A and B are shown apart, each in its own frame.
Chain A
Amino acid sequence: DVKVTQSSRYLVKRTGEKVFLECVQDMDHENMFWYRQDPGLGLRLIYFSYDVKMKEKGDIPEGYSVSREKKERFSLILESASTNQTSMYLCASSLGGESYNSPLHFGNGTRLTVT
C-alpha cells in the first residue's frame, strides 16, 4: 500500500516566517503534488512535479515555491507566511511515467495556522 507521509500534522507560524512543509512517498512514484484544501473550495493545486528537479505551477502558486531534490521527497515552501495561507495542505503522489492517468494517493495533511 502506498504511503505518503507529511512531516507535521499541525503547524502554527507567525506572519513573515519562512515555512517548510515536507512530504515523502515510499512507492517510487514519478508524480508528486501539493494541494490546498479550504471549505467550499475543494482541493486546489499549488505545484506539482513529474520528475526530480522538475516543477510546474498549478492553479494557485503565488506565495509558494517547491523543491524536489530526491524522487521520494517533495517540499512546499512559504517564503513569507501570510494569514491568508492558513489552510489544510495535502501532499499527494501518483505513479506517472507510462501509467496513463493513475489516481492520487494523499498524505494525512498539514493544518497550518498563520497568526
Chain B
Amino acid sequence: GENVEQHPSTLSVQEGDSAVIKCTYSDSASNYFPWYKQELGKRPQLIIDIRSNVGEKKDQRIAVTLNKTAKHFSLHITETQPEDSAVYFCASTTDSWGKFQFGAGTQVVVTP
C-alpha cells in the first residue's frame, strides 16, 4: 500500500524567513495531494492541495510543488509569521473513496 514520509519532523524558522516541508510517496498511482494545518488544540484544516496533472499551485504565501517522477511534493511558506506556527500534515490518495495516507507531521515554530 501507499506510504508517505514527511521531513523534517520539526522546523524552527525566524519570522519573515521561508519554510519548506517535503513529503515522498511510494505509489505512482497517487493522484491527489492535500496539505493540512493543525493549530494547537484544533482540528486539521486544508490549506492547499494539488492534483497529479499540475506541477505547482500557489495561494498567497503558500505554494505546493509536485514532482511525479521523483514521487515527492513539497509545501513552501514564504514570509513566515507567528500564526504559521502549527503542525503541518501532507497526505496522498490513489482512489476516489478519498482514503488518504498521511505523513507523520511537521511541527513548525516561527520565532519573532
Contact = CB atoms under 8 A, between A and B. Distances in A.
Size band of the interface chain A makes with B = 20 to 34
Contacts of A33: 98-99
Given A58-B99, A101-B32, A42 B89 contact: yes
Contacts of B105: 40, 42
B43 A108 contact: yes
Interface string A23-50: 0000000010101000011111100101
A106 B44 contact: yes
Contacts of B31: 101
Interface string A56-69: 10110000000000
Interface of B: 1, 6, 9, 31-32, 34, 36, 42-46, 49, 51, 89, 91, 93, 96-105
B104 A108 contact: no
- Which residue of A43, A101, A106, A107 has the most chain B CB atoms within 10 A of its CB atom? A101
Interface of A: 4, 31, 33, 35, 40-45, 48, 50, 56, 58-59, 90, 94, 96, 100-109
Contact of B46 (A40, A50, A56, A103): A103
Contacts of B97: 31, 48, 50, 56, 96
